[in-house]
Amino acid sequence: MFQRLVAYLDSIRVRDPAPRSRAEILLYPGVWAVAYHRIAHRLFKGRWFFLARAVNHWSRWMTAIDIHPGATIGRNFFIDHGFVVIGETAEIGDNVTIYQCVTLGGTSPDNGVAGKRHPTLLDGVIIGSGAQVLGPIIVGERARIGANAVVTKDVTPGAVMVGIPAKPTLVEAAAWQKDFVPYGTPCSDVFDPSTQKLELMRCELETLRKRLDTMIAEREASDAERRDRA
């Protein structure tokens, strides 16, 4: 059990550069939410529904993450930050990453029958912050859902989904082949971490040029006004 815990914490360190130690990760609300869910899910499977709900409500109060006791979750599930909602019939595979304010929501069947109404996330899926994945759909292996996307249809393995409603988008092969991309998608259409500092410097240089042009124009206008007075 200890080895499984260490492996879980190490899997989070691979996906999050912020923690300086495993002990620090133990303070993450997402880690506690998953731990509480393991307890609630066992109670739920044992038909101790009230106790399962009690653990769920305590977890939600402590972590700001609401995972229904009936949801099925695989290994190395990482919730980065809080305000996540996961419905009763959701199924989550191994090594899945979800960022803040994500909803794995369900549809309301007209006939009143519960059934499968929440999404299934297969192994390696990444869900960006604010995304909504709704209904009994399947998100394929290593698929990535961009921030604030709304997904209501099945997602093919390896696809990158963006927009409302979400649609697949083209991503450079080098970016697609990476094992993990934070927030599910690159930050721009052409993304290369090695050039980000250069892009920032170019933006600052452009801003300085505009300020310089303004100062020169003001100086020339002032000189012209003085010449007219003379």
Q: pLDDT digits over 103-112, tens only?
A: 999 876 665 5
Strand partners, 86: 67, 104
Same domain for 185 and 127: yes
Same domain for 39 and 91: yes
Label residue 223 by pLDDT band (50, 70, 90): confident
Which segments of 70-195 does DSSP mark as H helices, in order?
Answer: 173-176
C-alpha span between 4 and 26 (Å, rounded): 14
pTM for the full model? 0.73
**Domain residue limits at 131:** 2-191
Same domain for 153 and 81: yes
Label residue 14 by pLDDT band (50, 70, 90): confident
Q: Among residues 71, 109, 107, 108, which one has the least CA distance to residue 90?
A: 71
CATH number for 38: 2.160.10.10
Spatial neighbors of 154 by CB under 8 A, at least 6 apart, are 137, 138, 139, 140
Same domain for 133 and 76: yes
Q: How many domains does the chain have?
A: 2
